[in-house]
């Protein structure tokens, strides 16, 4: 029995520590354990913010481990029942979340998958300690029910028309020195390293011979303040591409009040992004003249296209930039 208790505590404590590490990395703006493009995009769809969700998840796993600790020390039936109940509730929540991600957004987040795996590991460990495998069976059914419920729903109603692409940018920069009929819409997130690579290269080497439109998916409070600062600097005549890169490097590049125009643009960009089925940022939508549209996903394909179109003459990758 002691060995079973040890495994139960090991899984519970490890889950809490790993999620705590990811939360700390987010709070210090050092990224997170998951650095894929899908994870960065999924985080922007959380209604109350990705960081708040991580904090709640971390608090849950610490509470779960505390219940495990009390249960193994006191060995009271109601404490064991409490551990099972909160695990079942968490599995229902996780199943619904993953169902929305996989089937609604088509953007699997590996961190969320890891959290789900941790929940199942704790569930099976609890069932093993208690020798009641019905707990594990009920947990799987509850998770599957939550997953199925959200996977059957559309992200937007059928009668909901996505906003026009022209209305998704929070800031734009017209072609110079002569007008152009080429419009480049860059969908990005401030938390995405690949997006910053694209923005940094454009700010360093791109001649402004096309119309640039920046469309952000950052719906968090801090992200909106940074976008408002970028828009404010662009109104003063500064390059919004360079200002976007600069805003990521310093927390001071924020404003207190966020204009409604910025919030509206971000919401439109997120609606358009989801309605088109895009699976990760960065995404570049190019419209040339009438009827011609090109969609590029990922930093590599965007870099290749921009160099082929001679919008940029060279492309500096992060590793090469650091080495130089």
CB atoms within 10 A of CB 142: 20
pTM of this structure? 0.66
pLDDT tens per residue, range 12-71? 999 999 999 988 887 776 566 766 656 666 666 676 667 788 889 999 999 999 999 999
Q: Is 42 helix (H, G, I), strand (E, B) or coil?
A: helix
Q: What angle do CA 162, 269, 53 make, to 5 degrees?
A: 110
- In the predicted model, what is the mean pLDDT of residues 63-81? 94
Find how far residue 29's CA is from the centre of its chain.
13
pLDDT number for residue 276? 85
Confidence of residue 120 (pLDDT cuts 50, 70, 90): very high
The DSSP call for residue 33 is: S
Confidence of residue 187 (pLDDT cuts 50, 70, 90): very high
Find how far residue 225's CA is from the centre of its chain.
18
Which tokens go with 180?
């152009």
Chain-wide mean pLDDT for the chain? Answer: 85
Given a contact cutoff of 8 angstroms between Cβ atoms, the answer to whether 177 and 290 are in contact is: no
SS3 content of the chain, % helix, strand, coil (to 5): 60, 10, 30
| CATH 2.30.30.110 correct for 165-323 | no
CATH code for residues 2-151:
1.20.1440
Domain positions in the chain are 2-151, 165-323
Q: How far apart are CA 199 and CA 214, in angstroms?
A: 10
DSSP state string for 82-118: HHHHHHHHHHHHHHHHHHIIIIII----HHHHHHHHH
**H-helix segments, 28-161:** 37-43, 50-74, 77-99, 110-130, 134-151
Q: How far apart are CA 122 and CA 68, in angstroms?
A: 10
Given a contact cutoff of 8 angstroms between Cβ atoms, the answer to whether 217 and 192 are in contact is: no
pLDDT tens per residue, range 82-104? 999 999 999 999 998 888 887 76
Q: How far apart are CA 83 and CA 65, in angstroms?
A: 9
Which tokens go with 301?
């394909």
pLDDT number for residue 321? 42
pLDDT tens per residue, range 266-310? 999 988 988 887 877 899 999 987 678 899 998 999 999 999 988
CB atoms within 10 A of CB 169: 22
pLDDT tens per residue, range 132-180? 999 999 999 999 998 998 777 665 555 557 789 999 999 999 887 777 8
DSSP state string for 237-257: T--HHHHHHHHHH-TT---SS
Q: Residue for token digits 């929305």?
A: 100
Which tokens go with 305?
């296209």
Q: How far apart are CA 274 and CA 270, in angstroms?
A: 6
Which tokens go with 70?
């009390």
pLDDT number for residue 79? 95
């Amino acid at each position: 029995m002691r060995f079973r208790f040890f495994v139960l505590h090991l899984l519970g404590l490890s889950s809490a520590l790993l999620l705590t590490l990811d939360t700390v990395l987010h709070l210090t703006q050092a990224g997170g354990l998951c650095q894929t493009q899908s994870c960065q995009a999924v985080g922007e769809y959380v209604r109350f913010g990705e960081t708040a969700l991580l904090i709640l998840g971390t608090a849950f796993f610490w509470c779960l481990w505390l219940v495990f600790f009390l249960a193994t020390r006191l060995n009271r039936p109601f404490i064991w029942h409490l551990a099972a109940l909160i695990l079942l509730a968490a599995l229902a929540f996780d199943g619904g979340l993953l169902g929305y991600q996989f089937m609604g957004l088509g953007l699997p987040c590996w961190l969320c998958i890891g959290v789900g795996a941790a929940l199942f590991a704790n569930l099976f460990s609890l069932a093993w300690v208690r020798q009641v495998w019905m707990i594990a069976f009920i947990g799987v059914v509850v998770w599957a029910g939550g997953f199925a419920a959200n996977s059957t729903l559309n992200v937007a109603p059928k009668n909901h028309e996505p906003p026009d692409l022209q209305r998704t940018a929070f800031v734009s920069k017209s072609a110079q020195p002569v007008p152009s009929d080429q419009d480049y819409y860059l969908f990005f997130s401030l938390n995405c390293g690949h997006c910053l690579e694209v923005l940094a290269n454009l700010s360093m080497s791109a001649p402004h011979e096309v119309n640039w439109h920046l469309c952000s998916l950052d719906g968090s409070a801090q992200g909106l303040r940074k976008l408002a600062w970028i828009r404010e600097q662009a109104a003063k005549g500064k390059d919004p591409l360079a200002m976007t890169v600069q805003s990521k490097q310093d927390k001071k590049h924020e404003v207190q009040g966020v204009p409604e125009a910025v919030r509206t643009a971000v919401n439109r960009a997120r609606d358009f992004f989801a309605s088109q089925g895009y699976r990760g940022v960065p995404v570049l939508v190019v419209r040339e003249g009438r009827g011609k549209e090109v969609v590029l996903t990922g930093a590599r394909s965007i870099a290749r296209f921009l160099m082929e179109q001679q919008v940029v003459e060279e492309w500096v990758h992060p590793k090469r930039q650091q080495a130089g």
